[in-house]
Amino acid sequence: MRAPASARNRSDPAFGGGLTRSPRGARLPATLRILATICFDSVDYDDEHGYREVLVTLGPRGRLFVSQQHISTKTMPLSEAQLGALRHILQSVCDECRESPVGNLLENHLKVVALGRLLTSGFSVMEGSNVAGQGRVVSMTGNVVNSHLQERDHMPPALGSTKVKNSPDIRIWEPCRLVVELQVRSTLGSQSALFSDNLVDDLDRVIRGTADAFVLAADFALYESLRGLKADPRGRKAKHTEVLEAALPSRAALSGTVQSDPIPTAGGRFSCLGSRFMTRFGIERVVIAVWAAT
């Protein structure tokens, strides 16, 4: 059974509403309970990113049990509108990282920079709100900032994650939908980030389709370490270097300006745009965007 992508909360109203999950299981709408007891052993519905599967089994005394859910890969190449929006993000991040010695020190700082460029370029973005199931859409008309509440799609976490949902760094709302995860790596910040799983987790969101693109702003020395090309033999190597070497473009693939056309990464699974440049204060940096090739 499949519900349309536009269905509220990504489940068909014919099933009685959304599937409510809790750490100990799930409550199923009444209609789905009946279906599950008559020969249906699974239910899936389609959304704009993939297929959600819910395995239903009938336990002792008629109790229903619901297994973990997962999203299978169903990614799509970025449209021209999405690529245009992504270029605005890349250019704003590049400009900030060129001009500020601490431009890539904090993710939240670069998020504000990117959102500012998007708003002044005619895009609207969605941020969080204190209303369950809704986000706040922010836009600009001239010099006036507008905002209103809008129903927000649920973004499920990865299988096995303890998170209730994913919360993307940047969510463009109009004129196209685009969900972007953002990461930074700076030699002026904590080097513990080299050994965290956050970067690979964000790439996994792109693979699963819960994010459209991943943007990384890094000092070049740390960028190479992430790819397993650590110049200094001292200290530990970064985690997940094989995965990241296949996903992140090489030094030779990056120039001083963002490419006019996307290029494939070494592993062939991703496409990317990016730039490698020397800042005016002597630090070489890389800003890239990566998304699923197919």
Write out the chain's pLDDT in tens, 294 residues: 333 333 333 333 333 333 433 334 445 454 444 444 333 333 333 333 333 344 444 454 555 554 444 333 445 689 999 999 999 999 999 999 999 999 999 999 999 999 999 999 999 999 999 898 899 999 999 999 999 999 987 665 555 555 545 689 999 999 999 999 999 999 998 777 666 788 889 999 998 889 999 999 999 999 998 998 876 666 667 778 888 988 999 999 999 999 889 999 877 889 999 999 999 899 999 999 999 987
- Per-residue CA distances from 195 to 95, 240, 244, 256 (Å): 28, 8, 12, 28
Structural contact between residues 49 and 208, judged by C-beta atoms closer than 8 angstroms: yes
Domain boundaries, the chain: 8-71, 80-292
Exposure of 27 in the CB half-sphere (CA atoms within 13 A): 7
Residue type, 246: A
Structural contact between residues 116 and 92, judged by C-beta atoms closer than 8 angstroms: yes
What confidence score (pLDDT) does residue 39 get? 34
Q: The whole model's pTM is what? A: 0.71
β-bridge partners, 56: 66
Copy the structure tokens of residue 39. 């020969």
Structural contact between residues 170 and 114, judged by C-beta atoms closer than 8 angstroms: yes
Pairing outcome for strands 213-219 and 178-185: parallel
> Which H/E stretch holds residue 95?
helix 80-99
d(CA 135, CA 278): 38
Q: Which of 73, 66, 71 is nearest to 19 (CA)?
A: 66
What confidence score (pLDDT) does residue 110 get? 97
Neighbouring CB atoms inside 10 A of 137's CB total: 19
Q: 28: which residues sit within 8 A by CB, 6+ positions away?
A: 19, 36, 56, 64, 66
Place of tokens 């021209």: 80
The 3-state DSSP class for residue 165 equals coil
Copy the structure tokens of residue 233. 């033999």
